[in-house]
A and B are shown apart, each in its own frame.
Chain A
Amino acid sequence: MLVIKDLHAKIDNKEILRGINLEVKPGEVHCIMGPNGSGKSTLSSVLAGNDKFEVCEGSATFNGKDLLDLAPEDRAREGLFLSFQYPVEIPGVSMVNFMRTAVNEHRKYRGDEPCSASEFLKLMRDKKKMVEIDSNLTNRSVNEGFSGGEKKKNEIFQMAMLEPKLAILDETDSGLDIDALRVVANGVNKLKSSDNATIVITHYQRLLDHIVPDFVHVLYKGRIVKSAGKELALELEEKGYDWIKKEFED
């Protein structure tokens, strides 16, 4: 589904990603961990097409297409979803209007007719129930005045609405209390299928009790330096990153 080869990316001439290799197949859950500043969020931004970052080397293909060649909106329409670490507020734009525009853009891309108002409202209702979010969240403007937890739940709700092939969760668990964490994790688990894949970026093993990864990768100084099964996360939780840093110091 996603094949990343020797990906290098920089911002303001500072190289952040220095040769990432990663392959994600349908049905898999990958977890990326690593100390602060190792390039985790940069990787998700680059994959989503944020033009603040410049890709200087390497490739990324998504379902056979050259991902890096697509505009950000086309990456989204192809089925790549990013749950933002810091979702932005868009004052005055209702969630309903926002979501309807997004859903219809996806449909248009696939050659489908736009959703009728009643179909759409039903879809919203179903998905809200599925991800257990408070129904009045969707009556408000996009993320405006939302608490940290509400913003993250709203990201999962949007993910449910758009049914992506590949979801990247960028520190979706940061700042969540235990209940919100459970809601977010349940949402992700319910959306999981053998056709789609998830990349979870996190600092904490805590989330992985709920979302069980097939692979855990450690990102350090812009490279994936260690990959293993879920037990690696437990090891990191216990020992911290120092032993990795020592092992891979340049």
Chain B
Amino acid sequence: MAEDQNKILDEVTGGEYKYGFHSDIDMETIPKGLSEDVVRIISAKKNEPEWMLEFRLKAYRHWQTMTTPDWAHLNIPEIDFQDIIFYAAPKKKPELESMDEVDPDLVATFEKLGIPLDEQKVLAGVAVDAVIDSVSVKTTYKETLAEKGIIFCSISEAIQEFPDLVKKYLGSVVPHGDNYFAALNAAVFSDGSFVYIPKGVRCPMELSTYFRINAINTGQFERTLIVADDDSYVSYLEGCTAPMRDENQLHAAIVEIVTMERAEVKYSTVQNWYPGDKDGKGGIFNFVTKRAICKGDYSKVMWTQVETGSAVTWKYPSCVLQGDHSVGEFYSVAVTNNHQQADTGTKMIHLGKNTRSLIVSKGVSAGKSQNSYRGLVKVAKKAENARNFSQCDSLLLGDQCGAHTFPYLEIVNNTAKVEHEATTSKIGEDQIFYCNQRGMSTEDAVGLIVNGYVKEVINQLPMEFAVEAQKLLQISLEGSVG
């Protein structure tokens, strides 16, 4: 039977990455390596004001004093920062009026990925701020949003046009000294998105950005900032695919979210970067810092993530619950296969009174992968009546993968109520046989069972995203049966 398992596991690993291609778009790059000069060049290329250059330089100098964190349950080869190109932009960057003017190659790339930049998708109410290798190429639906006073643009644009807002909030949730990769990002970030929802406005559509790493040896350093003013609401979608590469690519993004009184932000991610081949060669290194601060009373932040890609994932979308009665929620599915490694989870920091947090984490491990949940629940002294419920489930496919749970609790207020539940299970052969007997192939059976297992999380995603996520789960686990 063990032989059978291995055979089946081998079949899984036979599944080739479906988004592995490279489109030839003219790139403007700067030489490899990182130095103060490189930081200055990046800033100059983007015509940034002095304060922005200062922000970058401060971060760069701090970064130099830091070392790579090694506390995660990950095995990462040393990264040679002098071998990475820190800036790449598509060469032509004209102001575009319609899709007809977009580089056809780029459009073809988008189409291969199924990126909904076309009319139909616009009609469906999705405004897309597409980021291809670091610079925003096209922003749609901006005008409709502008009528409501909503700002949705690239962060570079925001630096030029809304410097006060950016200055006030950039780095306020994730300061450059926060961690090694946050400092690196602050120094060299290329582009990203900026969202501002004014007081009392409910954003009428899902805002979405598709990130894509496209040039050889280009690190991707996205920076996203979302500010939701009093009584506002926005749902933001982030979806990713990246083309196949031989060498590991570094990705170190930062997402900052600020919610004021009674504001609510829903942030959903589907991450599908190249995980490396079946021998663990290549793949994206994904070191992301995502954090939200619920500044205002009764505000709410919800993180939902479906992580199926990357060779290495290091990611802990967190909530700082500062306002009284504020709520943080985290729903996560992390799928690892072959040689993928994921160390992901969340931090819920309860500062205000009557704050509540909910964590639902579902890990699925297959192949020779390692999948860890790492979560911190912290209740500060003044956080009266804080509540937390955490549920961490792991599902194992096969006997060569690993699932780990690292919950941390720091409670210094005795009115807190914190609950943690964890389960580990395997897909049973009897479950698969039951499905087989009803006419389903083993692959379909695994897809069905895994989708059932993660349903709680998928249900939190916006409709179209949920369908995409389900397909993605099936693809990532093709044939992986234990």
Contact = CB atoms under 8 A, between A and B. Distances in A.
A96 B41 CA distance: 58
Nearest to B429: A52
Contacts of B45: none
Interface stretch (B186-194, B384-392, B451-459): B451-459
Interface string A153-168: 0000010001000000
Interface in A69-92: 71-73, 75-77, 81-82, 84, 87-88, 90-92
A93 interface: yes
A105 B440 contact: yes
Interface in A26-85: 48-52, 71-73, 75-77, 81-82, 84
A73 B436 contact: yes
B444 A105 contact: yes
Sort chain A's interface into a size bin. Answer: 20 to 34
Interface string B432-443: 011111111110
A50 B433 contact: yes
With most chain B CB atoms within 10 A of its CB, the pick from A82, A92, A158 is A92
A102 B434 contact: no
A84 B434 contact: yes
Contact of A51 (B4, B439, B440, B449): B4
B430 interface: yes
Contacts of A87: 434
Nearest to A82: B437
Given A88-B428, A88-B431, A88-B434, A93 B440 contact: no
Contact of B452 (A91, A105, A106): A91
B376 interface: no
A211 to B, nearest CB: 21
Interface in A153-185: 158, 162
A76 B455 contact: no
Nearest to A143: B434
Sort chain B's interface into a size bin. Answer: 20 to 34
A155 to B, nearest CB: 10
With most chain B CB atoms within 10 A of its CB, the pick from A50, A94, A98 is A98
Contacts of A92: 451-456
A248 interface: no
With most chain A CB atoms within 10 A of its CB, the pick from B4, B433, B444 is B433
Contact of A98 (B438, B453, B454): B438
Interface in B391-449: 428-431, 433-442, 444, 448-449
A93 B439 contact: no
B289 to A, nearest CB: 31
A246 to B, nearest CB: 36
Given A90-B452, A92-B453, A76 B431 contact: no
A189 interface: no
Contacts of A102: 435, 438-440
Contacts of A193: none
A90 B445 CA distance: 10
Contact of A72 (B430, B433, B444): B433
Given A90-B431, A105-B444, A76 B452 contact: no
Contacts of A97: 448, 452
B449 to A, nearest CB: 6
Contacts of B429: 52
B431 A106 contact: no
A98 B445 CA distance: 9
B449 A90 contact: yes
B437 A76 contact: yes
Given A50-B433, A88-B431, A109 B439 contact: yes
Given A51-B4, A88-B428, A88-B431, A93 B452 contact: yes
A21 interface: no
A49 B440 CA distance: 13
A76 B434 contact: no
A91 B453 contact: yes
Contacts of B435: 90, 98, 102
A141 interface: yes
Given A91-B453, A141-B452, A101 B440 contact: yes
A120 to B, nearest CB: 15
Interface in A129-170: 141-142, 158, 162
Contacts of B4: 51
A141 B442 CA distance: 19
B438 A93 contact: no
Contacts of B441: 71, 73, 105
With most chain A CB atoms within 10 A of its CB, the pick from B428, B429, B437 is B437
Contacts of B434: 84, 87-88, 90
Contacts of A101: 440, 444, 448
Given A90-B449, A92-B453, A141-B452, A48 B437 contact: yes
A99 to B, nearest CB: 8
Contacts of B449: 90, 93
A73 B440 contact: yes
A88 to B, nearest CB: 5
A36 B430 CA distance: 22
B448 A76 contact: no
Given A88-B428, A88-B431, A90-B431, A98 B448 contact: yes
Contacts of A94: 452
Contacts of B452: 90-94, 97, 141-142
Nearest to A87: B434
Contacts of A72: 433, 436-437
Contacts of A82: 437
A71 B432 CA distance: 13
Query: Which 10 A-B residue pairs are closest in the complex by CB-CB distance?
Result: A92-B452, A93-B452, A72-B436, A102-B438, A76-B439, A105-B439, A92-B455, A73-B436, A77-B439, A88-B434
Given A73-B441, A88-B431, A162-B438, 17 more contacts: A49-B436, A52-B1, A71-B436, A72-B433, A76-B438, A76-B439, A77-B439, A87-B434, A88-B428, A88-B430, A90-B434, A92-B453, A98-B448, A101-B440, A105-B440, A105-B444, A141-B452
20 contacts: A52-B429, A71-B441, A72-B436, A73-B442, A76-B436, A76-B437, A82-B437, A84-B434, A84-B437, A88-B431, A90-B431, A90-B448, A92-B454, A93-B449, A93-B452, A101-B440, A101-B444, A106-B439, A141-B452, A162-B439
